[in-house]
Amino acid sequence: MTRPTAIPTVQIDNDRVTVTEWRFPPGAETGYHRHGMDYIVVPMTTGTLLLETPNGEVRSPLTAGVSYTRLTGVEHNVINANDHEFVFVEIELK
């Protein structure tokens, strides 16, 4: 199955951080990737993301404005499992 691609917009990229806004139309995905830096995610909308991970699928309910953080090395494909656009801001720490 082919999914639409999530749309990244880099807002800041300097020697300390990269800040990217991610917009996911319904059903869109990032593609499978591995995080090379610690990062923080700030959801801008409320909904559920589907994560395809090495350990199987995980559903992650997120709430607008409720941030979370992950360490370097996370591997996944992030998919918008909602029938509406999902948006978050990702802050990667260099």
Residue-wise pLDDT tens digits, 42-64: 999 999 999 999 999 999 999 99
Answer yes or no: is pLDDT of 1 > 80. no
What is residue 91's predicted lDDT score, i.e. its pLDDT?
A: 98
Question: Which CATH architecture best describes the domain 7-93?
Answer: Sandwich (2.60)
Check: CB of residue 86 under 8 Å from CB of residue 45.
yes
Calpha distance 85→27 (Å, rounded) = 9
User: What pLDDT is stored for residue 47 in this prediction?
Assistant: 98
Strands 56-62 and 7-13: unpaired
Question: Which pLDDT band holds residue 32 (cuts at 50, 70, 90)?
Answer: very high
Model confidence at 81: pLDDT above 80: yes
pLDDT score, position 39: 98
Give CA separation, 10 vs 30, 37, 43, 89, in Å. 14, 16, 16, 10
